[in-house]
Structure 1
Amino acid sequence: MAGVPERILVTGATGQLGSVVVERLAGERLRALSRRRHTGNAAARDGGGASCPGGDRGEDRDGSGGGRGANGPGNGGGVDWVVGDLRTGRGVNTALAGADVVVHCATDYWATDYRREVETVRTLVEAARWAGTLPHLVYVSIVGVDRVPLGYYRAKLAAEELIAGSGLPYTILRATQFHALVRTILAGAARLPVVPAPNWRFQPVDVRDVAGRLAELAVGDPAGRVPDFGGPEVRPAADLARAVLAASGRSRRVLPVRLPGKLFGAYAAGGNLAPDHADGVITFDQYLAERTDPAALRYR
């Protein structure tokens, strides 16, 4: 209807990225899908158990659960919270009802079955078709999914291809690794007497910068695959390891190492980088400085 703001659905809305996207879209007609019941001002209520055809997979890192709660869609920019399960499809139709835009942030990096990433996208696509709507699907992927032979990356690339062939209007944004993930990888090694650092470079980006870009894309027109989004600095892993050590108050020797194989070779060749798109603002050092509690630096 002319003059009525679009309804935007964010999946994985209580996750690391999705929660910040919800914040960035404050003031929009916003609906949020999560596996967890929202603990804000309103309790979740059941949104019904209907599932879409083929609905299968998801959680929150993946966006799953089942029910609905609201601050009210007409309540001064409040968020309409829906608890739904992308693994089973339960609650997904409720979440998609009337949605003009879907920002798909739900994922599970630590899942042992990476097919889940593709199936959650399939669930959303099939639910949109079943409902007879064609929402603009905004999907966040990773820089290097077509260059780095990692199982999770292959799944993200397959999800991109599914979206591109879905018939839905879409926008795909590839971002470099989040600060928190890079820190977690290096912090694990920092417990050793000597810290091994691979001969790779990283271009870590802050989740807040990526969330801001996704919010911009959500209120814009479908654009297909848009330019990659990278952090403000490309730095050797050894340099980042020293920064993590300093932030945690540890003193260790950092030993650069070369790792064999196609996977490690792809990282060493810069397959995970987007140096021409260093669009992020918040640096890795700034991210570390904001977190005085080392436990708060854990990736989730």
Structure 2
Amino acid sequence: MLYLTLRQYEYVCAIGRHGSLSAAALRLNVSQPALSNALTRVESHLGYPLFSRRRGAPMALTPQGRKFIEEAEALLNRAALLEDSKQPVAGESRLRLGCFIDLAPFLLAQSLHHLREALPDIVLTHGVETFEGLISGLIDGKYDFALTYDLGMDAGFSCRKLFDSTPRALLSADHPLARADQLSLAELAKYPLILSKEGLSAQHVLGLFRRKALNPTISHRAESLEIQRSLAAHGEGVGISYASPESGYSYDRKHLVSLPVSDPEATEAVVLARHGTGPTDPMITTAERALVELLQRD
């Protein structure tokens, strides 16, 4: 027996698409009470809310609501196909991958390619974010999982370690430390640092020094990795980055030296993270397995 009608599905999808009862009612040319009653009926039957409702704020989809509406829209498309065989059916399964901004140039393209090979029937989208953007995106259901460093996530997240990343010191070719094979945090603390402007990244790097009772000065906070590399190449300080291209030149063709930081505690794990610790649906399990197969290193 069907407890929900296609009309109720249509009404709920319209609310999700337009962000409010009033906008959806105007679009569908129905009354707001009709939409509100349909939403109440659907949520009551499902046993969980599809939208978060805060006074004075727009209606926002919960993670469960986002998934329900995607599946409801696929159902409506299939129903429309029965009535009109010429109408295309939208993709039924969607997968959303997030990636930390500094890792994206190294990991994103190959990950998307591998996922499409492993799951050819899915609709795959991606986003590139800061740490804070990824964490909120995972919690809100904007992303199903994310490639990031193991920073800022609590016990409410599941993380699969892919590999360890050692930070590198970025120096100009004529810097006094440029001829070393590797550098310690104590050696680097004697020189002004160029850190990322991304808050959690900068806090993490500074925390490495402070745990050794070192208090370096900060010369710049760079908006991007390439700006950090350019500043370092021009002698504006020592950059410290976990993501560093193999090229020995900055974008503006200045020679740049990149040396590993020797302190073992500075090593940080790159992980595949998702929100929640319980079992997930088979599609996400398959996607996680594919990315681990591609990126996990001994």
TM-score (norm 1): 0.27
Q: Which has the higher helix share?
A: 2
